[in-house]
Homo-oligomer: A and B are copies of this chain.
């Protein structure tokens, strides 16, 4: 058993930009040489989130619209009272979607469905540099 910690660096434009990070996670997995185990993926910061999705434009748009319906960007947020930076909605969306995701791997490959990708959503209201930690535990 070994544990290997690496990361993925992203530049995003915010506003629920949805990035398919599957190939980046696979690349980091290959670099470890591990064959069987769990990939623990964690988005550092409180205005983004991680999940899996069929990464095609329609489903991406549907997910974005769902977040806009549930937690509107232009709603009234008390977080605004502290910071006045207009991203209260992003904090709520991130807390709802959460910043951790675990994906198993076997024979050196992530176990995912054919149409299931690992996606990062940046909910913030401005361009950001993001760090996503990828930690692989296995053998």
Which residues of chain A have a CB within 8 Å of any CB of chain B? 1-3, 5, 36-38, 40, 42, 44-46, 51-54, 56-59, 61-63, 65-66, 70-71, 77-83, 88, 91-92, 94-104, 106, 111-113, 115-116, 119, 133, 135, 137-139
Question: Are A62 and B92 touching (Cβ within 8 A)?
Answer: yes
Question: Are B113 and A44 touching (Cβ within 8 A)?
Answer: yes
- Oligomer copy total: 3
Chain B residues whose C-beta falls within 8 Å of the C-beta of A44 in the assembled complex: 111-113, 116
Chain B residues whose C-beta falls within 8 Å of the C-beta of A104 in the assembled complex: 5, 40, 42, 133, 135
4 more contacts with CB within 8 A, not counting A63-B95, A99-B116, A137-B138, are A1-B1, A52-B95, A61-B78, A95-B119
Chain B residues whose C-beta falls within 8 Å of the C-beta of A100 in the assembled complex: 101-103
Q: Which residue of B lies closest to A48 (CB)?
A: B113
